[in-house]
Structure 1
Amino acid sequence: MSDQCCGDPTVPARRIHLSPPDVGPAEEALVVAAMRSGWVAPAGPDLDAFEREVASRVGCGHGLGVSSGTAALHLALLTVGAGPGTVVVVPTLTFVATANAVTYTGAEPVFVDCEPTTGNLDVDLLPDLFDNLRRRGRRVAAVVAVDINGACADYHRLLPVCAAAGVPVVEDSAQALGSTYEGRPAGSFGRLGVFSFNGNKIMTTSSGGMLVSDDPTLVSRARRLSTQAREPVAHYEHREVGYNYRLSNVLAALGRAQLRRLDGMIERRRALRERYAKLFASVPGARILGDGDAGSNCWLTSLVVDPATAGWRADDLGEHLAAHDIETRPIYKPMHRQPTHRGRQAVVTGAADRLFATGLSLPSGSTLVGADADRVFRITAGFLERHR
């Protein structure tokens, strides 16, 4: 049974999505201008400008706009040397694209568990893992750090551990554009950083992504690979396998408009996070994942529930909201539990398994305002009252 809109029983309430795109007249104007300019192919002045603007926002010297965050991650891993015979350390609590990009290079992903309070990579597990891999003669091409829900990994501890082992860090900031860690922008900590502009991200280009770095050699290498590795001659000459990964100029125009609105979109997501935190503050056994991280862009707000204390499960709330046409999603199923990656080496403590079993991501989009936001919180509060 759906909640009704504006009190009129004849008008069904519209579906509320987890994190829908937030676009409007500003995006339309720049996209139309890009189309009218004639630069419709995957090159042009808006793409060049978008790369500069994102790199500047992140505090990196160079940017490369590509077709997806996955493509950006694939290129980043290739440029740091991931390939057959190497391993790449990946958090087990992540979206599957992080692990899949490793396999695209021919490298083997090795999964590491997360911190239970943030969901980010557990740095304490790395030193013994590095020693174990070294004793077995395995070369670690990279560690991929994922900034879960927009909250940065613990780079203060992670970077020295990786530097001591001679292992580069690739920062998967697909969810974290606009976030900071100790005052420094997400995406600027690794040898390369990666962003996603998928439709559900903090800002979107419909589909798309970007690679950023201060190393011009790495970005130049990735740029070449992203355009089928064509040699600089008049005819088509290719001496290695490349990829068709460039972002189109039209989508880059959409991204430029989104980037100008980014701070406002982040503020609305933070306001939702604060409202959720207040709602659940007095609920025994319930907590917000990563709550208290002032630098997070609050891309998603995820609830973690201890059913023994709360008397209800996270998926009970999810089912209740679904009955009112409100979308939620479990926290990521760990990579070491995924059929496609089952059997790979993993260092686990059970933290990611527990978050998957007890977590629920709540509607968090920057379009969730006014009556729609009130509806989500009213229905959630009603569920809590019945389970008090």
Structure 2
Amino acid sequence: MRIWLSRPHMGGTEQDYVGEAFESNFIAPAGPQLDQFEAGFADYIGQDVHCLAVSSGTAALHLALRMQNLDQGDEVWVSSMTFAGGVFPIIYENATPVFFDLSPESWTICPDLLEEALKAAGKRGKLPKAIIPTDLYGQSCDLARLEGLANEYEVPLIVDSAESAGANFRDRKCGSGGDMAILSFNGNKIITTGGGGMLVSKDEKVIEMARFLSTQAKDVAQHYQHSTYGYNYRMSNVAAAIGLGQLEVLDQRAIQRRNIFDRYSKALGNVPGVAFMPEPEWSTSSRWLTTATFDENLCGLNREMISQALLKKEIDSRPMWKPMHKQPLFDGKSYVGSGFDEKLFDNGLCLPSGSDMTIDEQDEVISLLLNILNP
């Protein structure tokens, strides 16, 4: 059987919650399971946050940016190494992305580069309208630095926590950062609703405005009346029912994935040329995906050769995100950095990390990697 990169992993109660939704006939977007999922996730995140469940993480980010009242040409600063859905909403709002490199300490957006750029932009009188750092592969960005800079320069901070449900920044859950944060429940994420996302904010008015926009921006009236345009972005009640069961096992899934990472790193950490994503003292990563780099000069194989060797044995893997500033779509857009993220892309590979991987499956992947790296 194929060993997948990251499969959905049900906890056992999801069908019960879905059954309740069917029995009550709350199949449409509104319903008690949706309300419970939003409330339950807010309780899980803590920090007195409010939550809005929507159709995807991209939808959540689009709503967050829509509320920034962006004009054509306004800049939004964003991690370059991220999934495209973490950048596309900038285009939806006719703004201009400026891409930033990562810190070698954390493989998340570099606060030093941001600080330097903010100082220069402040002197020019052209600060960005928002900053979007990405929690990469389950690891929090440096929220203390980023929140401090955002407050100092009065720039909204929208944290892309799509990949970091179940992770922590110090004693805070990922998803609690910035003015707003977004999460994803796509099928390959640490928990899934089949497809979905969450917008999180401590400001209840922000969430209420996003709720209004996410349901076609219908005015309060007996008839359909619209004073502005909105979107069909709400999560369905049935998807939220799946989320209720998944939420019950979120911390367990993070532990399972951290254990898988530990087995990889202990087995391969001393192989010349192999390095794993670091974990700063302020972060407890969920290790959504175990990510490693392979230096061909030291280990004799590049990441594509390793990926193909795995594929021949029906083992799934994936290159790291191609930085957005290297994508044809964003050719010519501004980039701030030295190309550390480019090196990660050239050498980095995401290894099978699903929380449903058996010990035998983990051993199979590790054994194959050891064999091809130590012929």
TM-score range, shorter chain: over 0.9
Provide the rounded CA distance (Å) in 2 between the counterparts of 1:109 and 1:234: 41
Match of 1:372, SS state, is helix
**Match 1:36 to one of 19, 23, 32:** 23
* Residue identity opposite 1:65 in structure 2: A
Q: CA deviation at 1:292?
A: 6.1
What 5-or-longer segments of structure 2 have no aligned partner? none
- Comparing 286-295 with 92-101, greater Cα deviation is found at 286-295
Give the match for residue 87 of structure 1: 75
Pairing 1:210-225 to 2, within 5 Å after superposition: 210-225=198-213
Q: CA deviation at 1:231?
A: 0.1
Give the match for residue 326 of structure 2: 337
**Match 1:359 to one of 315, 332, 348:** 348
Give the match for residue 284 of structure 2: 295
Pairing 1:297-312 to 2, within 5 Å after superposition: 297-312=286-301
CA-to-partner distance for each residue in 1:227-264, whole Å, 9 max, x for gaps?
A: 01100101000011100000000000000000001122
RMSD: 1.5
* Residue identity opposite 2:29 in structure 1: P
Provide the rounded CA distance (Å) in 2 between the counterparts of 1:276 and 1:192: 34
Give the match for residue 93 of structure 2: 105
Q: CA deviation at 1:173?
A: 0.4
**Match 2:14 to one of 27, 31, 44:** 27
Q: CA deviation at 1:150?
A: 0.8
Pairing 1:1-388 to 2, within 5 Å after superposition: 14-23=1-10, 25-59=12-46, 60-291=48-279, 295-386=284-375
Q: CA deviation at 1:214?
A: 0.7
TM (normalized to structure 2)? Answer: 0.96
Match of 1:25, SS state, is coil
Q: CA deviation at 1:136?
A: 4.8
Count of residue pairs brought into register by the alignment? 373
Provide the rounded CA distance (Å) in 1 between the counterparts of 2:280 and 2:141: 14
- Comparing 356-365 with 158-167, greater Cα deviation is found at 158-167
Give the match for residue 8 of structure 1: none
Q: CA deviation at 1:126?
A: 1.3
Match of 1:29, SS state, is helix
Q: Is the 8 A contact 1:117 1:289 kept in 2?
A: no
Match of 1:121, SS state, is coil
Q: CA deviation at 1:323?
A: 0.7
Match of 1:195, SS state, is strand
The 3 A distance-change label for structure 1 pair 284 and 292 is: farther
Provide the rounded CA distance (Å) in 1 between the counterparts of 2:342 and 2:278: 17
CA-to-partner distance for each residue in 1:45-78, whole Å, 9 max, x for gaps?
A: 0000100111111114310000000000111122
Match of 1:89, SS state, is strand
Provide the rounded CA distance (Å) in 2 between the counterparts of 1:268 and 1:336: 34
Match of 1:340, SS state, is helix
Q: Is the 8 A contact 1:85 1:139 kept in 2?
A: no
- Comparing 214-223 with 122-131, greater Cα deviation is found at 122-131
TM (normalized to structure 1)? Answer: 0.93
* Residue identity opposite 1:69 in structure 2: G
* Residue identity opposite 2:180 in structure 1: L
CA-to-partner distance for each residue in 1:146-201, whole Å, 9 max, x for gaps?
A: 10011100112222122211112111100111110111111111101100000000
Match of 1:140, SS state, is coil
Provide the rounded CA distance (Å) in 2 between the counterparts of 1:217 and 1:292: 34
Percent identity, aligned pairs only, is: 40
Provide the rounded CA distance (Å) in 2 between the counterparts of 1:27 and 1:297: 22
Provide the rounded CA distance (Å) in 2 between the counterparts of 1:222 and 1:69: 13
